[in-house]
Structure 1
C-alpha cells in the first residue's frame, strides 16, 4: 500500500488514515482484486472531493455532477500529482479515502472553490482500466523525459 504524510492536524482528525511519507495519507475502505494501472493506461474512477475534512463541504463528485465516472490517463499529468500517485497504487475494485497535501494538489494558489494551501480529501474507487495501447518511440521518449512527480 502506498502511504505518504500530511500535516499532524489532519492526521489527528482522521485516526483511521495511516500516516505516510510523501504527502498522501490513505485509508483503504474496500480492497480491490483486479490489476493496478500501468502508466499511460486509461483509468475510470468514481470520486468525491471535500475540503476541510471528510464531513465538511463537498466540492466535487463524479456521482451526480458528471455524466458518469471520470476517465483519465494515469501518470502523464492529466490530473494533480496526488491523484496520479494514489491511483497508480490501487487495484481495480479498490475504494479508498486519501488526504492529499497541497503540494500534490492545487498548491498555494488553489483552484475555484478550493482555497490555496488546502489539503484535499478524496474518496476514490477504481472501477476499471482500459486495454493498454502500444506506445511508439516518440511516446516512450516523452515518458522517459517526464517521470511521474
Structure 2
C-alpha cells in the first residue's frame, strides 16, 4: 500500500518520524511535504496529498500541520477526499469504519509522536463497514457533486 504524506513547516520532525514508522510497518511512503522549517503555506500540501489520493497515485494520505485543521480543510476541497482530523485513536478508527475517510490529519502541536502512532495504527487497521454507512458516505459525496 502506498501512503502519501504531506506537512508544513511546523511538522517536519513529526513527518520524519511518521514516515519511518510507516516504512517499518511495511508501507511505501511518498513524501509530498516540505523538509524545511521555513514558514510555508499548508494549503499547498493539503492539496498535493488530496490530488494524489483522488487520482489514485497513492492509496491513502496522512497530513500534518500545527493543528491538523487547516491542512485537512485544504485537502477536503479536492473532489473525492474525505479527510479527518483526529487527536485520539477511537475517532480515527470510526472515521474509517463509518465514513471511509481516505486522509488522516494530525496536529504536530496537539499530539505527541507516540499518540500519533497509535492514531495512525487504528486508522490504517480499520476497514470501511459499508452497509448503512455507505448510504451516508454517498450522501456526503452527493453534496460535493451538486451544481452550484
Q: What TM-score results when the alignment is normalised by the length of structure 2?
A: 0.31
Higher relative contact order (CA closer than 8 Å, sequence separation 6+) = 1
- Structure number with the higher helix fraction is 2
Structure having the higher Rg: 1
- Structure number with the higher strand fraction is 1
Q: What TM-score results when the alignment is normalised by the length of structure 1?
A: 0.31
